[in-house]
Copies of this chain bind each other. A is one copy, B any other.
Amino acid sequence: MANEAVLTPQGENFPQWYQDVVARAELAETGPARGSMVIRPWAYAIWELMQADMDRRIKATGVQNAYFLLFIPMSFMEKEQEHVEGFSPELAVVTHGGGEQLAEPLVVRPTSETVINHLFAKWIQSHRDLPLLINQWANVVRWELRPRLFLRTTEFLWQEGHTAHATYEDAQAETMLALEVYRAFMEETLAVAVATGEKSAAERFAGADRTYTCEGLMRDGKALQMGTSHNLGHNFARAFDIQYLSAEGRREYVATTSWGSSTRMLGGVIMTHGDDHGLRLPPAIAPHQVVLIPLAEGEVEGTVDKLASQLRGEGVRTSVDRRFHLSFGRRSVDWELKGVPVRVELGPPGAGRRPGHRGPPGHPGQDPGGGRRGRAGRPGAARRAPAQPPRRVAGRPRGPHLPGGRPGRVSRADRRRRVLPVGLVRLPGL
């Protein structure tokens, strides 16, 4: 079948399947600088939807966004001993600027605890200034010798929360709150079931007292760290002298936290939901939730326009693929690779017969073989109005990958439990 040629099957070689789907779905590619990544428009549009949803959740906890700096003076990195030891092997260093050698080298931020805590020391005077809750969306750099797109690249995009509190207990509560924001986002928006827990001392963030993680379970049976939250205790407060005047008039050190999630989550989405036919996107983060694919130019245009405008009117992100210079099969496979939740194929009766085409299901009675994986269309539509072109809702039955179960099998309990990675949108007027 055609798609076997497109992607290496997961069961044969999972890492190769991952590379294939990232390339064929035009998600990302390696950039010209070592370990770098180019996020292509389709993946970037997914990231924008993820970012907007995560940002809303973070702000709902009272956190404000701000922007700090890309370049960190080397001396700042060195103020917290464990921190610099942990990050030293991964640093990219600017030694020249404006045509001259710099007196002090600048580190390209691998994370921003040092600069942000430096500013916290200026901004925090009194217990009235606490808690101080800040988040930054930014790019960071951690030198990577064996990059894998989205999962491990020298530069990546992320958000990093940084908060300061009056007590260690408040910092611990914030650490757990951020972890819960991540868990809820991953389960509700990404439809990825995660396990949360504390990391061992050896795996702790460099400079943290306690580190917690959200681990997603990928389809190859491995876990992926998809977000972490750290109680930094008084470590950075001491290193950067962040003190406040308590209500009782005493000078006290604040306790700080930090927590981050990144474009790596996109790798997690791919490895949780993708299958041998391509990516599969949860509707919440699908740039197009429905793609209408007219078979040929002309004949069904009116129907396509009407359907598109109805769907858009109901708030469904809808796209029409009019690339008629490409074969119908090629267009259909494209959107299957890209993981669009619902494809609607439209054409005159009988035009859908394409023996051997693997993607869209056969119309019952037309291509029984194609119906094996396909969701049956609505043959009644053609019967009710024979003059109308039959419209078929294409796509495999899709659900979250359930341990031990076949992909695509979703129990009713599962449907209730979470956003399905792919759900059929109610198509008005069909």
List A residues at the B interface (Cβ < 8 Å).
29, 31-34, 36-41, 44-45, 47-48, 64-73, 76, 88-99, 105-106, 108, 115, 118-119, 128, 134, 138-139, 141, 143-145, 154-155, 157, 323, 325
- Determine whether the beta carbon of B96 is less than 8 Å from that of A92: yes
- For the complex, would chain A's binding face be called helix, strand, loop or mixed by DSSP majority? mixed
* Besides the known contacts A32-B72, A38-B69, A98-B144, 7 further A-B residue pairs in the complex with CB atoms under 8 A apart: A33-B69, A69-B155, A70-B139, A70-B155, A89-B98, A90-B98, A93-B96
Known contacts being A115-B31, A143-B98, is A36 close to B92, with CB within 8 Å? no
Sampled A-B contacts (13; CB under 8 Å): A29-B119, A36-B71, A37-B69, A38-B68, A48-B65, A67-B157, A70-B141, A70-B155, A71-B155, A93-B94, A93-B96, A94-B108, A138-B139
CB distance from A36 to the nearest CB of B (A): 4
For A29, list chain B residues within 8 Å (CB): 119
- Taking a contact as CB atoms closer than 8 A, the residue among B41, B69, B157 that contacts A134 in the complex is B41
CB distance from A157 to the nearest CB of B (A): 7
Q: Which residue of chain B has its CB nearest to the CB of A89?
A: B99
- Determine whether the beta carbon of B92 is less than 8 Å from that of A88: no
Known contacts being A37-B69, A73-B33, is A94 close to B97, with CB within 8 Å? no
Q: Which residue of chain B has its CB nearest to the CB of A155?
A: B70
For A48, list chain B residues within 8 Å (CB): 65
- Determine whether the beta carbon of A72 is less than 8 Å from that of B33: yes
CB distance from A323 to the nearest CB of B (A): 8
- Determine whether the beta carbon of A73 is less than 8 Å from that of B38: no
- Determine whether the beta carbon of A65 is less than 8 Å from that of B44: yes
For A115, list chain B residues within 8 Å (CB): 31-32, 38
For A64, list chain B residues within 8 Å (CB): 41, 44-45
How many angstroms between the C-alpha atoms of A108 and B70 in the bound complex? Answer: 10
For A128, list chain B residues within 8 Å (CB): 323, 325
- Determine whether the beta carbon of A32 is less than 8 Å from that of B92: no
- Determine whether the beta carbon of A33 is less than 8 Å from that of B99: no
How many angstroms between the C-alpha atoms of A76 and B91 in the bound complex? Answer: 23
Which of A64, A68, A70, A144 is packed against the most chain B CB atoms within 10 Å? A70
Q: Which residue of chain B has its CB nearest to the CB of A145?
A: B98
- Determine whether the beta carbon of B99 is less than 8 Å from that of A96: no
- Determine whether the beta carbon of B94 is less than 8 Å from that of A36: no
Query: Across chains A and B, which 7 residue pairs bring their CB atoms closest together, nearest first?
Result: A98-B143, A41-B64, A39-B67, A33-B71, A93-B96, A36-B69, A31-B69
- Determine whether the beta carbon of B118 is less than 8 Å from that of A32: yes
- Taking a contact as CB atoms closer than 8 A, the residue among B47, B90, B97, B155 that contacts A92 in the complex is B97
How many angstroms between the C-alpha atoms of A37 and B91 in the bound complex? Answer: 21
For A97, list chain B residues within 8 Å (CB): 34, 91-93, 143, 154
- Determine whether the beta carbon of A66 is less than 8 Å from that of B93: no
For A91, list chain B residues within 8 Å (CB): 96-99
CB distance from A114 to the nearest CB of B (A): 9
